[in-house]
Amino acid sequence: MGNTTQNIQKLRKSMGVGIMDAKKSLQDAGGDMKKAEGLLKAKGAKSAEKRADRETHEGWIGEYVHANGKEAGLVALACETDFVARTDDFKSLAHDLALHAVAMRPKYLKPEDVPAEVLAEEEVAWKKQLEDEKKPANIIENILKGKREKYYAEVCFIKQAYVKDDEQTIEEVVTAAITKLGENIQIIGFTLLAL
């Protein structure tokens, strides 16, 4: 592909970063768009990690009502300052997360929120299935770990594939917003309503 203006703009739009970050990532990746995206994601994760301890006292409640008028979602999205909370990018993110909640119907916000008894029940069923399939005991634990991660990706909001771009999880979408807006951003809750 190469380090062209068109590629820089495409990378900026897809990753929500500045011109210089997009240009540098493309240079570091030898013009490979996928590699450049990977570098930006890693940089974003580091940036998010640095900001994770910052308190989030401001925010916005994103809302979405489905066209049929029978389903709606609210998402409470927190950030550090009122300035960021009132930006179009932040409000748009809150709205898109509410849309995602309505479309994907998560049960829990994050893996830690899944009740231990619910997870234990699932694991008993998985274990029985694996034993019925005569899987060797030494690999059952690895398979269970994979099944646990898949379960989290189905029922936990932050682990789900983003409805607008299934190449990213909600966690990655929020991390990209942290990088773009320069503040700690947290989903602090969500509610779904349906008739």
Of the candidates 195, 178, 190, which has an alpha carbon nearest to the alpha carbon of residue 56? 178
Least confident of 86-90, 109-113, 140-144: 140-144
Provide the residue ranges of all domains of the chain, joining segments of one domain with +: 5-51, 58-109+156-194, 115-154
Of the candidates 97, 99, 87, which has an alpha carbon nearest to the alpha carbon of residue 186? 97
E strands, 83-183, in order:
161-162, 165-169
Provide the pLDDT for residue 142.
Answer: 87
Name, in order, each residue with C-beta under 8 angstroms of 29's C-beta and a sequence gap of 6 or more.
35, 36, 38, 39
Other Cβ atoms less than 10 A from the Cβ of 148: the count is: 16
Provide the pLDDT for residue 1.
Answer: 45
| Superfamily covering domain 5-51 | Ubiquitin-associated (UBA) domain (1.10.8.10)
Of residues 131 and 19, more confidently modeled: 131
pLDDT band, very low/low/confident/very high, at 54 (cuts 50, 70, 90): low
CATH of 58-109+156-194 among 3.30.479.20, 3.40.50.20, 3.30.360.10, 3.90.960.10? 3.30.479.20
